[in-house]
Chains A and B, each alone.
Chain A
Amino acid sequence: MTQTRSTATETDDQKNRSPSSGATGMKLIVPLQGVVQGRGGLLLGSLIPCALFYFLQLYLKRNRSKNSSNPPSPSASSSNLPELPRSSSRTNLSSRGSIGRVPVSSLANMIAKPDSSPYYIGLERVFLDPYDPVNNPDGIIQLGLSANKLCLDLIEKWLSANVKESLIGTDDVSLSINGIAAYQPFDGTEEMKMAMSNFMSLVLGGSVKFDPSNIILTSGGTPAIEILSFCLADQGNAFLVPSPYYPGFDRDFRWRTGVDLIPVYCRSTDNFSLSITALEQAYSQARKRGVKVRGILFSNPSNPVGNLLSQDMLHSLVEFAQEKNIHIISDEIYAGSMYGSEKFVSIAEVLDLEYIDKSRVHIIYGLSKDFALPGFRVGALYSFNESVLAAAKKLTRFCSIPAPTQRLVASMLSDQRFVQEYISTNQKRIREVHKEFEAGLNKLGIKCAKSSAGVYCWADMSELIRPYSEKGELDLWEKFLSVAKISITPGSACHCIEPGWFRICFTTLDLEDIPLVIERFGRVVETCKSSG
């Protein structure tokens, strides 16, 4: 497609150029007339310069097409990624090779470009060289993926003690495979919805009880975010998002939907807190540009900073949304991962006033962080809006949680005693590791933003970067990857406006691992300091 287009343009150019070339050509014709005698003189005299110009164009065009950037062939675009081994299914057939470039979708073309976000590059690098204390002690330690491994032992213990909940029920025939292997309601079974809403009430609630009929279950938080984007905005619309923000929002919210995210920059001067003024500004600027803002998206507790939105701020946000007639999406997926002394307040808690229109508020939740089960793909979309629930329910056709997983998780979450124990132990362990880890960073002279929740520190390494810019930040990031063999997430991947901040996840570490990790940090920190 692209190539045809470029040839077409050049033919047009040629056509455009020849009339003007006629004028300059006249300067050659007069002396030529003297050369060319006879009847055809004038004709030939005008033809020859035109012919010369034609050949000149042809020559230039050939050179231009040599230099023009041809769309990269598939093999080139994937060169930055680990080479997929040539499969036997293709090698037998591949001797014939590809014939010409096949048009895929524009979306595929965009995605096929090598990942420019350090967030994803980091994930890839760890995938290729993962740290293992025994098998690969020099591998890269993953501190860039916010996973919580601190309490998996508790879940394992519960499983061992509760094997009756396995795939095949022992006594009750109705619990057999006939039940869970078959098609289920795509937005989740009644049992699972009940279990999930109870869990959310416990973790998010406080005074709010979550209603199972307002929940849609999805295979992970990722499709839940995408579903809301598809439901609440059309292609070309935008959502405001306080930044720095979770890098995955760029994919989940924007990729296939065509909806844009407009960052509302927060700064270290007030610990990266959101202000309504900044929101107002961003909103007006968007309007001036002709962009229709359909809502605000934020994570609370915040990712990557780890701070909380106060009750007052939540009120103000709801009023702001009401005034502008837009939506609010609150991603509360870290609500159970609290370690500070502040109390978490869900946006659901500020909706009880009469004049508040609840139908514009939607909450994302899931078990990947608070309950350490990212592999199981359990996400939830909670909304007070019947129309959104109806549409989202249909969309779960594409992303349902499989029945065996629902059954297992529902029975786990229904064990109230276990859940209480898990949550409090989880918070205790996060607090311990966080304290040690942050202390270790502080000893190296690295300070972190004040935070109360999440599984990461938001570390200020601005004094270590040279120059004080995104480039300096990325250079440091690369040093951490290749020298210290640690993968952390640079602030630019999170759209942070101030360079030098890094998100470092600590919940994949045991207390014993911390000294090793801090020592590795130390390697790079020392080199940065010594190089002045």
Chain B
Amino acid sequence: MGFTSEIHDYQLLSKIATNDKHGENSPYFDGWKAYDRDPFHPTKNPDGVIQMGLAENQLSFDLIEDWIMENPKASICTPEGVNQFKHIANFQDYHGLPEFTKGVANFMSKVRGGRVKFDPDRILMSGGATGANELIMFCLADPGDAFLVPSPYYPAFVRDLCWRTGIQIIPVHCDSSNNFKITREALEEAYQKAQEDNINVKGLIITNPSNPLGTTLDRETLKSAVSFINEKNIHLVCDEIYAATVFNSPGYVSVSEILQDIESINLDLIHVIYSLSKDMGLPGFRVGIVYSYNEEVVHCGRKMSSFGLVSSQTQHLLGAMLNDDEFVDGFLKESSRRLGKRHSVFTKGLEKEGISCLPSNAGLFVWMNLRKLLKEQTFEGEMMLWRDIINEVKLNVSPGSSFDCKEPGWFRVCFANMDDETVEVALRRIRAFVGKETTPSSSPKKPVKLKRWNSNLRLSLSSSRRFDETVLSPHNMMSPHSPLVQAT
């Protein structure tokens, strides 16, 4: 396949297929590549790179495993459950299996402490939260329209919200001066500027609990956001996929609760995105949910859900699981406890080394403050530090610039996708690194095994500075059945 045929190929493809809005060409992939080539294993590869860039919740699998073992009827491939097979295999109604939508509504309500009720008929399915975010954009905005997004934000929003939909993101920058809170002034300013630039702002998307910050929005901020969109008559999309990862006070306030408190909100503007990938640790099940208070959006979105329906087998299993109140209550409590414990162990370990994180009460990660380790307070400095962390400390963490953070020196570090021993190893390595960095004498650095890709860790200031945290599923190298996926 020569050069000429590649050009030939390229011309035959669409703009969407050949632009880089998918975000995977970002130089930050080198961190992933480093992990892929040299993945950590406690016994087989103790010097390998530890994956701390993937926000996965692996702490409570055993609870789900136990439930499945105890409930063979829920699975259609057991003697107890196989009689449901014919019905399930044939079921492709866009409304979803009634047990499934009821179960999801039940689960969502319990996650919010029972303070809100959700209507199963408003639940739309999609291919994971990724599909849900894209679907709601298709329903709300036209190509060229814009959505305000408080930064720092999940890097793959560029792909999910913009790639095929043609809409654009307008970041609303938040900074550490007020712990990255979203202020009304910042929202107004971003909106005004868009008006001046003749950009049609269709809505605001907020992630609550926040990725990457790990914080929940306080009631006042949420109220302010709701009144802002109501005043401007634009949509509010609340990405609440981390809702059940809240492990500490202040408690969680979801947008649905706010709606009960404030008068005169136009409900047609409010939409919630949900998923089971983070809260239940089931990203492989591809369960994305769009919940809208707008009838038209429900109607239209339901038709569009054909592009990402949840497999009926999954619906059947989860329908049984999520309607088991005893299980759900127990799971939510225990999962939250384990996350809190892990968060505490990790942050305390970091504090011992003088590393602080943004105080957080949710999420599967911490927003680590490494500003004092930067050689220069610039993004180049951040890049240099990041390279060191990957090459020497052998941790794959995510630099703040990939989240469009305006202050250099912040890093998102995931802590819920590993066991306790691995956390200890990670902390040990950080200890060693910080010790080295803060002592003026330069000790000889350990030889880096894989040198050839170092030079590729260059800072690229192009707008395609995004990466997908979940392109790869490489963590389970122990299984002979799931080979490592190569980054493309």
Q: Which residues of A contact B (CB under 8 A)?
A: 74-75, 77-78, 81, 84-85, 87-90, 92-94, 96, 98-100, 102-108, 111-112, 127, 147, 149, 152-153, 155-156, 159-160, 162-163, 165-168, 174-186, 189-191, 219-220, 222-223, 226, 230-235, 237, 251-252, 255-257, 294, 325, 327, 359-360, 368, 372-377, 385-388, 390-391, 393-395, 397-405, 408
Can you name the residue of chain A whose Cβ is closest to the Cβ of B131? A398
- Also in contact, A178 and B58, with CB within 8 A (given A89-B256, A104-B294): yes
Instruction: Name the residue among A94, A153, A181 with the largest chain B CB count within 10 angstroms.
Output: A181
Q: Which residues of B contact A237 (CB under 8 A)?
A: 14
Closest 7 CB pairs of A and B: A87-B119, A375-B312, A403-B284, A183-B473, A391-B17, A174-B479, A231-B17
21 contacts between A and B (CB under 8 A): A84-B298, A87-B122, A105-B142, A105-B145, A107-B142, A111-B299, A111-B303, A153-B86, A155-B89, A159-B82, A177-B61, A177-B68, A178-B479, A179-B476, A179-B479, A181-B61, A181-B282, A184-B284, A220-B306, A257-B164, A376-B89
Verify A177–B64 contact, CB threshold 8 A: yes
Least distance between A242 CB and chain B CB atoms (Å): 21
Least distance between A151 CB and chain B CB atoms (Å): 11
Cα of A87 to Cα of B298 in the assembled complex, Å: 13
Instruction: Name the residue among A166, A183, A252 with the largest chain B CB count within 10 angstroms.
Output: A183
Contact of B412 with A by CB under 8 A: no
Contact of B378 with A by CB under 8 A: no
Cα of A355 to Cα of B356 in the assembled complex, Å: 64
- Also in contact, A108 and B58, with CB within 8 A (given A167-B77, A251-B306, A391-B18): no
Verify A92–B260 contact, CB threshold 8 A: yes
Least distance between B118 CB and chain A CB atoms (Å): 6
Can you name the residue of chain B whose Cβ is closest to the Cβ of A72? B296
Contact of B48 with A by CB under 8 A: no
Verify B139–A104 contact, CB threshold 8 A: yes
Contact of B338 with A by CB under 8 A: no
Cα of A220 to Cα of B127 in the assembled complex, Å: 11
Verify A375–B293 contact, CB threshold 8 A: no
Q: Mark B255-272, 1 if CB is under 8 A from A, else 0.
A: 010011001111111000
Verify B488–A390 contact, CB threshold 8 A: yes
Verify B286–A104 contact, CB threshold 8 A: no
Verify A105–B14 contact, CB threshold 8 A: no
Cα of A337 to Cα of B263 in the assembled complex, Å: 58
Cα of A470 to Cα of B260 in the assembled complex, Å: 51
Neighbour of B56 across the interface among A107, A175, A182, A374, CB < 8 A: A182
Verify B131–A102 contact, CB threshold 8 A: no
Contact of B221 with A by CB under 8 A: no
Least distance between A329 CB and chain B CB atoms (Å): 13
- Also in contact, A359 and B12, with CB within 8 A (given A104-B300, A184-B473, A376-B89): yes
Q: Which residues of A contact B282 (CB under 8 A)?
A: 181
Can you name the residue of chain A whose Cβ is closest to the Cβ of B474? A183
Cα of A75 to Cα of B296 in the assembled complex, Å: 8
Q: Which residues of B contact A400 (CB under 8 A)?
A: 127-128, 286
Least distance between A408 CB and chain B CB atoms (Å): 6
Verify A178–B476 contact, CB threshold 8 A: yes
Verify A399–B307 contact, CB threshold 8 A: yes
Verify B317–A231 contact, CB threshold 8 A: no
Cα of A195 to Cα of B308 in the assembled complex, Å: 22
Q: Which residues of A contact B79 (CB under 8 A)?
A: 160, 163
Verify A168–B14 contact, CB threshold 8 A: no
Verify A372–B295 contact, CB threshold 8 A: no
Q: Identify the stretch in B90-98, B190-198, B381-389, B423-431 within 8 Å (CB) of chain A at 4 or more residues.
A: B90-98
- Also in contact, A374 and B308, with CB within 8 A (given A174-B479, A232-B14, A404-B285): no
Interface residues in B7-50 (C-beta closer than 8 Å to A):
9-10, 12-18, 22, 24
Verify B139–A155 contact, CB threshold 8 A: no
Can you name the residue of chain A whose Cβ is closest to the Cβ of B292? A104
Contact of B75 with A by CB under 8 A: yes
Contact of B283 with A by CB under 8 A: yes
Neighbour of B17 across the interface among A127, A190, A230, CB < 8 A: A230
Verify A84–B311 contact, CB threshold 8 A: no
Verify A391–B13 contact, CB threshold 8 A: yes
Can you name the residue of chain A whose Cβ is closest to the Cβ of B283? A183
Verify B85–A105 contact, CB threshold 8 A: no
Contact of B140 with A by CB under 8 A: yes
The total number of A-B Cβ pairs within 8 Å is: 316
- Also in contact, A401 and B89, with CB within 8 A (given A96-B264, A181-B281, A394-B24): no
Verify A376–B283 contact, CB threshold 8 A: no
Q: Which residues of A contact B475 (CB under 8 A)?
A: 182
Verify A408–B313 contact, CB threshold 8 A: yes
Cα of A402 to Cα of B61 in the assembled complex, Å: 17
Interface residues in B460-488 (C-beta closer than 8 Å to A):
468, 470-473, 475-476, 478-483, 485, 488
Contact of B226 with A by CB under 8 A: no
Contact of B134 with A by CB under 8 A: yes
Cα of A93 to Cα of B69 in the assembled complex, Å: 41
Q: Which residues of A contact B134 (CB under 8 A)?
A: 398
Verify B300–A89 contact, CB threshold 8 A: no
Verify B17–A232 contact, CB threshold 8 A: yes
Verify B285–A402 contact, CB threshold 8 A: yes
Can you name the residue of chain B whose Cβ is closest to the Cβ of A396? B127
Contact of B185 with A by CB under 8 A: no
Besides the contacts A93-B267, A163-B79, A397-B471, what 9 more A-B pairs have beta carbons closer than 8 Å? A89-B293, A100-B266, A104-B139, A149-B90, A156-B86, A181-B61, A359-B9, A377-B312, A408-B313
Least distance between B123 CB and chain A CB atoms (Å): 10
Verify A377–B311 contact, CB threshold 8 A: yes
Can you name the residue of chain A whose Cβ is closest to the Cβ of B269? A102
Neighbour of A74 across the interface among B58, B76, B138, B295, CB < 8 A: B295
Verify A112–B299 contact, CB threshold 8 A: yes
Q: Which residues of B contact A377 (CB under 8 A)?
A: 92, 309-312
Interface residues in B112-161 (C-beta closer than 8 Å to A):
116-119, 121-122, 126-128, 130-131, 134, 138-143, 145, 159
Cα of A403 to Cα of B313 in the assembled complex, Å: 11
Cα of A391 to Cα of B281 in the assembled complex, Å: 28
Neighbour of B138 across the interface among A81, A94, A100, A105, CB < 8 A: A105
Cα of A391 to Cα of B5 in the assembled complex, Å: 17
Q: Which residues of B contact A152 (CB under 8 A)?
A: 85-86, 89-90
- Also in contact, A376 and B312, with CB within 8 A (given A74-B295, A393-B488): yes
Verify B131–A178 contact, CB threshold 8 A: no
Interface residues in B300-346 (C-beta closer than 8 Å to A):
300, 303-304, 306-314, 317
Q: Which residues of A contact B131 (CB under 8 A)?
A: 398-399
Neighbour of B284 across the interface among A90, A180, A398, CB < 8 A: A180
Cα of A165 to Cα of B10 in the assembled complex, Å: 42
Q: Which residues of A contact B481 (CB under 8 A)?
A: 174-175, 179, 189, 191
Instruction: Name the residue among A100, A231, A393, A397 with the largest chain B CB count within 10 angstroms.
Output: A397
Q: Which residues of B contact A103 (CB under 8 A)?
A: 202, 233
Cα of A373 to Cα of B284 in the assembled complex, Å: 20
Verify B482–A184 contact, CB threshold 8 A: yes
Can you name the residue of chain A whose Cβ is closest to the Cβ of B159? A397
- Also in contact, A399 and B119, with CB within 8 A (given A165-B77, A166-B77): no
Verify A182–B267 contact, CB threshold 8 A: no
Cα of A107 to Cα of B308 in the assembled complex, Å: 17
Neighbour of B235 across the interface among A81, A102, A190, A403, CB < 8 A: A102
Cα of A191 to Cα of B481 in the assembled complex, Å: 8
- Also in contact, A375 and B16, with CB within 8 A (given A183-B283, A386-B1, A400-B128): no
Contact of B351 with A by CB under 8 A: no
Verify B17–A388 contact, CB threshold 8 A: yes
Verify A87–B483 contact, CB threshold 8 A: no
Cα of A98 to Cα of B268 in the assembled complex, Å: 7
Contact of B172 with A by CB under 8 A: no
Least distance between A146 CB and chain B CB atoms (Å): 11
Q: Which residues of A contact B414 (CB under 8 A)?
A: none
Cα of A186 to Cα of B471 in the assembled complex, Å: 8
- Also in contact, A402 and B284, with CB within 8 A (given A88-B117, A90-B293, A391-B13): yes
Contact of B244 with A by CB under 8 A: no
Verify B119–A90 contact, CB threshold 8 A: yes
